[in-house]
């Protein structure tokens, strides 16, 4: 099945039988993501001054690699009082039942963050409104993650 995965920060997708990594991204240079097939879409209303950007080791260091090797987003994705809806889509992947999707995620600051990993079965679609199917939700309202954690989900 050709799919896109929507997520943030650091990702690894593997197949269990051979433990073969089909996508691994360390986000060493976020400016190169669009050229590598990634889609960055900020649908926040009203739109703010930022979208996805290179990690900032002054906020916190990366989980691995250079200290700024992560992709980040913040409250400035939407204007004051706005609704944040910022999407990071992987290149199209072929996923099968049993494949695992995992990522590292972390938050900073005093406000709760929410991260959802979704799977689109519409092939290489970049329409972020095409599915309501949430595969994994991390950092639900009221919770914060002050250290790197690695949620994962096995495709069924």
Q: CA 74, CA 111: separation in Å to the nearest integer?
A: 10
* Phi and psi, residue 113, nearest 5°: -115, 150
Structural domain count of the chain: 1
Residue 64: which domain range? 2-154
Per-residue pLDDT tens, the chain, 156 aa: give them. 443 343 334 455 555 555 678 888 999 999 999 999 999 999 999 999 999 999 999 999 999 999 999 999 988 999 998 988 899 988 888 888 888 888 888 888 777 677 777 777 777 778 775 455 544 444 433 445 678 888 877 877
**Taking the model in full, what pTM does it have?**
0.78
């Amino acid at each position: 099945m050709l799919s896109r995965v929507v997520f943030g920060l650091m990702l690894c997708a593997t197949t269990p039988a051979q433990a073969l990594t089909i996508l691994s991204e360390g986000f060493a240079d976020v400016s190169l993501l669009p050229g590598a097939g990634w889609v960055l879409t900020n649908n926040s209303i009203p739109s703010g001054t930022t979208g996805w950007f290179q990690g900032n080791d002054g906020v916190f260091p990366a989980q691995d690699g250079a200290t700024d090797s992560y992709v980040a987003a913040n409250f400035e994705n939407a204007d004051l009082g706005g609704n944040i809806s910022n999407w990071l889509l992987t290149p199209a992947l072929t996923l099968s039942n049993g494949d695992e999707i995992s990522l590292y995620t972390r938050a900073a600051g005093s406000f709760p963050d929410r991260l959802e990993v979704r799977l689109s079965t519409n092939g290489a679609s970049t329409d972020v409104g095409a599915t309501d199917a949430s595969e994994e939700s991390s950092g639900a309202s009221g919770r914060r993650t002050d250290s790197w954690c690695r949620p994962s989900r096995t495709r069924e």
